[in-house]
Amino acid sequence: MVFSSLIFLYAFLPLSLIVYFLCKDIRAKNISLLVFSLIFYAWGEPVYVLLLMFMSLCSWFCALRVEYAESDRTAKFWVAISVVTDILLIGFFKYAGMFFSLFGAVPDFVSRVALPIGISFYTFQLMTYVIDVYREDAEARDSYLDVLLYAALFHQCIAGPIVRFKTISRELYVKRNTKDLLPGIIRFSVGLAKKTLLANPCGSLADSILATNGPLAGMTVLSAWLGALAYTLQIYLDFSAYSDMAIGMGKMIGLHYMENFNYPYISGSVTEFWRRWHISLSTFFRDYVYIPLGGNRCSTPRMLLNMFVVWALTGLWHGASWNFVAWGLYYFVFLAMEKLFLEKALDRTGIISHIYLILIVMFGWILFYYTDIR
């Protein structure tokens, strides 16, 4: 089920809102929200709801052990248990095929494994929950259902934004209002229009050029540029539309998710682009990977290594294919150059910096589009 489908628009969403607003207190509202979120996850692949419930159970248990740990060493142990469990599970369900392909044929039992809906998003959310409890940025929840609700919220499971526990816990469990019901409906409608009226036609045009023409060498120069431009527009409109719809649905019931896109194509550098593109993902890697590795408060070679790790992981997070790793490392190269010497020069070039950024992004999206690395 996707947000732009008729069954979601005319049945699932209205019914979930009606039941939600008929509930009188926040506990009842949360139960209705949890039930509809689990139904959403179970719609296409019921068995994988059990995976979501199991991963939430592990995070709930580990966070409580962290909260009541008698020493920092014990707390770190339970954080490690939680993070390793999450990584192993997402590694199997999302990346096992890619791993086995390094050694030849992929086993049948691996090739038959379907990718659970939203696993990339709820895995990161559960990791931030346990880590934030360890950092004392949030308090562990005594109720398992509270953690399951946080992980299972259907609003943002398809394309984000990645919701951090510490930023939403008060609205989710303590106090919530519906003053933003109308702005939420408007934001959802804008996202829906962006998806159906703009993103889908751009996607059809991109696929008709890039997918049907086969090898790149078989295209004309004009068709190659047109296909790249269409896909550049489609991928922004698509992802930002889903974020708009998620943010809008959250506002309808008094939940406020972070903005995820801020007009990234007006940027004048790759560094600025990644401050504006998929903000919840880039800030996640900054706060939970880059800074703990040492960030830029270290020697230049170590800083570059930290950036390399972050961008290899960023590419890998987007999909289980080597083209995504290449796409992430492609951005690492430009970000490293800007960090070392290029960014100050770009500040003085005006319109040239915007042309530079658009060309880099368009070429990058071609790496992203073709999953066959050859």
Cβ atoms within 10 Å of 70's Cβ, excluding its own: 7
Omega prior to 46 cis, within 30 of 0: no
Catalytic site includes residue 318: yes
Three-class SS state of 100:
helix
Contact 120, 90 (CB under 8 A): yes
- Among candidate residues 91, 109, 98, 96, the one with its CA nearest the CA of residue 55: 91
**Tens-place pLDDT, residues 326-346:** 999 999 999 999 998 887 788
Contact 321, 373 (CB under 8 A): yes
Structure tokens at 209: 């050029």
Residue 213 confidence (pLDDT) above 60 = no
Question: pTM for this one?
Answer: 0.89
- What span, in angstroms and rounded, lies between the C-alpha atoms of 171 and 26? 10
Contact 157, 36 (CB under 8 A): no
Q: Please name the amino acid found at residue 346.
A: L
Residue 120 confidence (pLDDT) above 80 = yes
Contact 260, 161 (CB under 8 A): yes
**Tens-place pLDDT, residues 281-309:** 999 999 999 999 998 888 889 999 999 99
* CB-based contacts of 97, cutoff 8 Å, min separation 6: 106, 110, 111, 113, 320
Residue 80 confidence (pLDDT) above 70 = yes
pLDDT at 215: 60
- Among candidate residues 138, 116, 12, the one with its CA nearest the CA of residue 54: 116
Three-class SS state of 296:
coil
Contact 175, 266 (CB under 8 A): no
- Among candidate residues 312, 327, 144, 303, the one with its CA nearest the CA of residue 235: 327
CA 161, 167, 172 angle in degrees (round to 5)? 90
pLDDT at 212: 64
- What span, in angstroms and rounded, lies between the C-alpha atoms of 10 and 18? 12
Which residue shows structure tokens 């994988």? 48
Q: Could you tell me how far CA 348 lies from the centroid of its own chain? A: 33
With bands split at pLDDT 50, 70 and 90, how would you rate the model's confidence at 109?
A: confident
Three-class SS state of 220:
coil
Contact 324, 332 (CB under 8 A): no
Structure tokens at 325: 């790793």
Q: What is the signed CA dihedral for 105, 91, 287, 77, rounded to 10 degrees?
A: -140
Residue 279 confidence (pLDDT) above 70 = yes
Task: State the average pLDDT for the chain.
Answer: 90
Q: How many CA atoms lie within 13 A of 94 on its CB side?
A: 20
Residue 221 confidence (pLDDT) above 90 = no
- What span, in angstroms and rounded, lies between the C-alpha atoms of 153 and 35? 10
Cβ atoms within 10 Å of 304's Cβ, excluding its own: 17
High-pLDDT (> 70) share of the chain, % = 98
Sign of CA dihedral 93, 99, 105, 107: negative
Which whole number is the average pLDDT over 136-152? 92
Radius of gyration from C-alpha coordinates of the chain: 22
The single residue of 256, 278, 318, 354 carrying the catalytic annotation is: 318
- What span, in angstroms and rounded, lies between the C-alpha atoms of 4 and 100? 35
Which whole number is the average pLDDT over 251-276? 93
Contact 36, 154 (CB under 8 A): yes
Q: Which helix (H) or strand (E) holds 41?
A: helix 26-42
